[in-house]
Chains A and B, each alone.
Chain A
Amino acid sequence: MTIHRDSSRAIPADRRLRATLGQRSATFLGVFLLLLVAVFPILWTFLSSFKTERDIAVRIPKLFFEPTLSNYLTVLNSQDVQTGLINSAIVVGSALLIGVVLGVPAAHVLARYARRIKDDAQFFVLSIRFTPPVAIALPAISIFQWTSLTDTLLSVILVYSLTTISTLIWLGVPAFQDVPVELEEAARLDGLSSWGVFFRVALPVAIPSLVGALLFTFVITWNELLMALILTSKNTTLPVVAAGFTTLGMEVPRGLINASAILLALPPLLLIGLVLRFIDGFLEKKS
């Protein structure tokens, strides 16, 4: 106990050198438990997605089993999942493209030329991001009924574009503010037009932060469920298809549910390293 109290007084670097064996193993155990909590639920579902139904429905969980790809094959061959996958790709891709083409230049203008309205514009953009999805989708459906766009991908793209544009402006403004003003002024003196300044100076310098913003926007639109659920019925996206497995009262085998949960999670998880680097950069700038 005395050792413990002594060590907490010392500065961290010192203490680590003096850490006793007991302390070190306690730390090790703590970290191990933490990692277990963070990753195990995902890993367990991942493992179970390679199990046959017989290997899942047991009282004593099986760690060793003969893996099978049949769940994935069934899921990928299902018409609903195929349509969902293609629709998700189209919807998220188009909404991101609209977001980039409209939102990124707007962020640059707000950061550079429109200082006076910048705060108000940022508040407006942020308030769109924070509007409850149900308060967007319900009135939207009445508008789409009126324009006969119900249950179309276009309706989802139009609504998702609100998210992508506002998020990219919100995160793009600080990214462009970090570009040195002198750099842009020098370019202008060299005779570049404002588009020239944007494409040849501001964009290349801001691109690392913008990639982070783009990733974030991709993750939130790829993961979105409620608005797609309200706006579409047959012509729908992957999250709606996957969620339907449990809520439609169908008897869907566990293995298939697990495989589709993993399939849906795969694209965002593949980006994890990039996202972490973006957070590092963002916090470094702030401090």
Chain B
Amino acid sequence: MLVLSPAMAYLVFASLTLTLAALNLAFQNRSLQLHKYHYVGLDNFVRLFSDQRFLNALRVSAYWELLTLGGTFLIAIPVAVFLCERVPRRYQNPICLALMFPILLPRVSVGLIWRFFYAPTIGLVNFPLTLLGQRPVDLLGSIYSALAAVAVADVWQWGLFFAVIILKLLGTLPAAQIEAALIDGARLWQKHLLITLPMLRGALLTMAFVKAIESLRSFDLIYTMTNGGPGIVTETIDLYAYQVGINLSGRISYATSMSLLLLILTIVVFTVLWRTTRRLAK
């Protein structure tokens, strides 16, 4: 028991201190530059819900969750099924190695790589357009495509990574059981949709759960690719909290109240999904 204590003591001490500090800050009107501050009660939280920029950030975060979570599985499942059915086992591992590259990259590098890719006039994405004599498009600069363009980079990382995991999970399923369950004449997609994927539902839900929470913290990718722009079209909650608390105005109390709401949101997602995963996995 003695060995357990230093590690756990540090974790408990730090999370208690941080929670107390966060609560304390959220009820003040402290800013980083000024030394005078006082308690303002629930003012910060009240103000949040009439702050158009915050409501925008909530909306953007919700879209972002949907785009990245949906996109990831839309890519991962078909890719995994394709590799499982068509590629012999001994070739699967080198392919997996290549598919793992994107997820290991630092998000900052991913942001820089895709920014270069999307760059107007010199970016590769625009090369086919300029070849046809069209005007180059600035996907990250347009209010219609910016969020989706950043989401592509996220799905590039997570979709391919989850494809590897699903492929490996498919490989661990007992073949005899699948054959037995296989109704004669079932098509390939029927086999996977009706038999193998339901067998993996516990694991798939855990993955969705991990991805949902990872998506709530995509600051680094969005920051390097658009910095919330154009305007505030891609500004998620953590981005806005950073802008308010550190970068633009240093209103750390207001930013902290925002991050507390983000924390509550995470806890809700975490608890709901944790419970559902547990129940459905049984």
Contact = CB atoms under 8 A, between A and B. Distances in A.
Nearest to B219: A226
Contact of B220 (A37, A243, A260): A243
A42 B102 CA distance: 8
A169 interface: yes
A142 B252 contact: yes
Interface in B3-57: 3-4, 6-8, 10-11, 14-15, 17-19, 21-22, 24-25, 30, 32
A75 to B, nearest CB: 12
Contact of A38 (B21, B98, B245, B260): B98
Contacts of A139: 18-19, 21-22, 25, 256
Given A8-B188, A102-B7, A243-B224, A262 B262 contact: no
Q: Give the interface centre of B101, B102, B245 by most chain A CB atoms within 10 Å.
A: B101
Nearest to A241: B108
A13 B85 CA distance: 10
Interface string A258-287: 101110110011011101100110011011
A183 interface: no
B179 A132 contact: no
A246 B164 contact: no
Contact of A283 (B86, B169, B267): B169
A189 B36 CA distance: 64
Nearest to B256: A138
B96 A276 contact: yes
Interface in A30-69: 30-31, 34-35, 37-39, 41-42, 44-45, 48, 56-61
Given A12-B85, A110-B4, A125-B11, A132 B262 contact: yes
A143 B86 contact: no
Given A114-B4, A143-B18, A162-B14, A38 B25 contact: no
Nearest to B96: A276
Instruction: Give the interface SS of chain B, mostly helix, strand, loop or mixed.
Output: helix
Nearest to B23: A139
B121 interface: yes
Interface string B163-194: 01100110010000001000011111000000
A102 B19 CA distance: 22
Interface string B63-88: 00000000000000001001101111
A261 B108 contact: yes
B130 interface: yes
A194 B267 CA distance: 37
Contacts of B130: 59-60
Interface in A96-117: 102-103, 105-106, 108-110, 113-114
B95 interface: yes
Interface residues of A, number: 95
Contact of B3 (A61, A108, A280): A108
14 contacts: A16-B88, A38-B98, A41-B113, A105-B4, A106-B4, A133-B219, A135-B22, A139-B22, A140-B21, A162-B11, A162-B14, A245-B112, A246-B112, A264-B109
Interface of B: 1, 3-4, 6-8, 10-11, 14-15, 17-19, 21-22, 24-25, 30, 32, 79, 82-83, 85-88, 91, 93, 95-102, 104-109, 111-117, 119, 121-122, 124, 127, 130-131, 156, 160, 164-165, 168-169, 172, 179, 184-188, 213, 216-217, 219-220, 223-224, 227, 238, 241-242, 245-246, 252, 255-256, 259-260, 262-263, 266-267, 270
The 10 A-B residue pairs with the shortest CB-CB distance, nearest first, are A287-B172, A106-B7, A223-B106, A139-B21, A139-B22, A102-B7, A261-B112, A225-B220, A135-B259, A265-B109
Interface of A: 5, 8-9, 11-12, 16, 23, 27, 30-31, 34-35, 37-39, 41-42, 44-45, 48, 56-61, 102-103, 105-106, 108-110, 113-114, 121, 124-125, 127-128, 130-136, 138-143, 158, 161-162, 165-166, 169, 194, 198, 219, 222-223, 225-226, 229-230, 239, 242-243, 245-247, 254, 257-258, 260-262, 264-265, 268-269, 271-273, 275-276, 279-280, 283-284, 286-287
